[in-house]
Structure 1
Amino acid sequence: MSAQRQSRVTDPRSFGRVAVLMGGTSSEREVSLDSGRNCLEALQRRGVDAQAVDGIPALVQALVAKRFDRVFNILHGHHGGGEDGILQGLLDALQVPYTGSDVLGSALSMDKIRTKQVWLSLGMPTPRYVSLAKKSSDVEAAARSLGLPVIVKPACEGSSVGVSRVFSEADLPSAVALAERYEGDLLMEQMIVGEEYTVGILGAEALPTIRIVPAGEYYDYHAKYVAEDTQYICPGLSGAAENEMRALALKAFQAAGCGGWGRVDVMRDRGGANFLLEVNTAPGMTSHSLVPKAARAVGIEFDDLVWRVLETSLDRGGGA
């Protein structure tokens, strides 16, 4: 696979001084801190002049003081996370190169509803859904129109934050109350019964699929970041089915205006049909995270993966 290509640069000095941006103030702060520490250590092991920066205000101060030449963004989420386009717009204005997607890709993919609208406009498969404003009186009607079971979640959160699975109308009020703790509209989505997959994207290529098999019934926050018994099968498929899902994920990633690196989550129903769920433009890089697992399957170890992610910042000028 061509993802095994040689790195574009070999001299760590080519990157200059790198801010590894982590933490922040979103609901995914703790995951981001874990990801950030891992990425920082990987870059330092490779000789990169990298330092940790916690949150956007601290980064602004450091950039004004000319302390850094580029940013490795490993913030997760929005509202102080770095995945909603605000950070990207700031760095574009300051002409500071950064990793990952630009303003458009970051802002669009953070909003699950509008991402689905783009995919549907292009004839790409995604579960049927209803967008609900907070305090909506149409919750029961929306559930009936989709048909139970459904998923209820905030439209602009990640890491399974605020997500509920609803099997009866009696469970709707508690699911809605949980999702309404977070800002923005709610997304009610048809529940696809089948297997859960994720596809990492590195540059213009899709990495091998990963089939996620949680020990419990669902792949929730605990299964993602705490449990040690979740199984990750990579590649998750074979032959034509594997190639089809990888091609779909890459197409979905690019359709959402994303670039650099990321991850696309997909459900595959019992009939073998694929359904796009969402895009992550700054995926986790923890010990439980999935992009490193997929990269390792094609011979890219963690330190090399982090280096290649940093190389995506070269596409925005600066450096080698």
Structure 2
Amino acid sequence: MGEIRMRIGVIMGGISTEREVSFQSGAEVMKYMNRDKYEQVVPIMIDEKKDVIERVKGIDFAFLALHGAFGEDGTIQGALETLGIPYSGCGVLSSAICMNKALTKSIVKQCGLVTPEWVTYRSLEEINYDEMRKLGYPVFIKPNHGGSSVATFFVQKEEEVKEAVHEVLKYDSEAIIEQYVEGDEITSFVLNGEVFPTLRIKANKGEFFNYESKYNVEGAKEEVAEFEPILQEKIVKASKTMWRELYCKCYVRFDMIISGGVPYVLEANTLPGLTSASLIPKSAKAKGMEYPELLDKIIEYSLQ
């Protein structure tokens, strides 16, 4: 196949707490993008929201290597649609829904899927300890709109709750407190509606799959999970249900916990990490798809 006359801009950086991770994803995309296939591939660094309008001029396609607020929440997607520039990944609605963990959990629960119980608080005054006790301890306390396990706390007793919520509210307008479910942490990568091999995750650093585990080499052990057929079918079915009901497009990563033979849905990632240590390139490779082909497919399916 010859060169496609298309100028691709790899957008990275942004304004969220995941800015540094975004630069890592962007650098990896730039490194592995097939230069023989596209007319030009250029890096586009975003430092402020207003940068977008000026810096995307002249590109034919925006490959989003952004994460978190402004990158993953539908905001930049809306701006690019206004400018008539196609972009990689999910659309405005799906991005906005999936960025909100509590809203995502509400939708998947209504679809008959299982998710750990949760509550949300927007201020320290809202904390209801009776409500918390119903969840039981330990709990996870984290930003409702964040990612990459930034400001995520594993809280084991009531006395630690207020300080954890206080820290989370420095990063986000809302804290989500989620019931702890013990089990195997897995991730399910879906590309264009097709469910790829499931990966099982075990942190080598820290007590859960935190920021350090995700982005340090050998921070976690990630391997293709070989579950018995009935359980694997439940994972595939849950992934396809979420893909449809959350209006996903092109690619997405669903995180779950397997406990007692049941997949508990944790969250959906509409712009998951694309670093060498990231999960979706590993899942793609397990299916025989190398990184450059994965990037090509993301562009192809985004343009459909």
Are residues 1:284 and 2:273 paired? yes
Which ranges in structure 2 are unaligned for 5 or more consecutive residues?
Answer: none
Identify which of 109, 120, 123 aligns with 2:98: 109
Which residue is 2:64 aligned to?
73
Number of aligned residue pairs: give it. 300
Q: Cα offset for 1:41?
A: 2.0
CA contact (8 A) 1:40 1:50 kept: yes
Q: Which moved more, 1:293-302 or 1:136-145?
A: 136-145
Query: What do residues 2-61 of structure 1 show as CA deviations (whole Å, max 9, x unaligned)?
Result: xxxxxxxx44415x1111111111100111111111112222444321100012533310
Counterparts of 2:257 and 2:107, CA distance in 1: 18
Question: Is 1:61 equivalent to 2:50 in the alignment?
Answer: no
Displacement of 1:304:
0.5
| 1:179 Cα deviation after fit | 1.0
- RMSD in angstroms over aligned alpha carbons? 1.6
Superposition map of 1:155-170 within 5 A: 155-170=144-159
Q: Which moved more, 1:104-113 or 1:47-56?
A: 47-56
**How far apart are residue 237 of structure 1 and its match?**
2.5
**Pair 1:310 & 2:303 matched:** no
Which of the numbers 268, 273, 284 marks the counterpart of 2:262? 273
Structure 2 CA distance, aligned partners of 1:131 and 1:288?
31
Aligned to 1:124: 113
Q: Could you tell me which runs of 5 or more consecutive residues in structure 1 were left unpaired when the two chains were aligned.
A: 1-9, 316-320
Which residue of structure 1 aligns with residue 213 of structure 2? 223
Confirm or deny: 8 A CA contact 2:35 2:41 kept in the other structure. Answer: no
TM-score (norm 1): 0.89
Identify which of 231, 239, 243 aligns with 2:229.
239
Residues 39-84 of structure 1, C-alpha deviations (whole Å, 9 max, x = no match):
1222244432110001253331034x4x111111110000xx3111
* Structure 2 residue 30 is the aligned partner of structure 1 residue 40: yes
| SS of residue paired to 2:50 | helix
CA distance in 2, matches of 1:225, 1:208: 21
Q: Distance in 1 between matches of 2:237 and 2:220?
A: 26
CA deviation after TM superposition for structure 1 residue 236, in Å: 4.6
The answer for the alignment partner of 2:42 in structure 1 is 51
Question: Which range moved further: 170-179 or 192-201?
Answer: 170-179
CA pair 227-50 structure 1, distance change in 2 beyond 3 A = closer
Name the CA distance, whole Å, in 2 between partners of 1:250 and 1:203.
11
- Paired residue type of 1:249: S
Map Cα deviations across residues 143-193 of structure 1 (whole Å, 9 max, x no partner): 112111211111000000111111111221221122111122111111111
Q: 1:287, CA displacement in angstroms?
A: 1.5
**1:205 counterpart residue number:** 194
Residue among 237, 256, 259 paired with 2:249 = 259
Cα distance change, pair 304–146 in 1 and its aligned pair in 2 (3 A): same
The answer on whether the counterparts of 2:17 and 2:68 sit within 8 Å (CA) in structure 1 is yes
**Structure 2: distance between partners of 1:196 and 1:312:** 28
Match of 1:181 in 2: 170
Matched, 1:21 2:14: no
TM-score (norm 2): 0.94
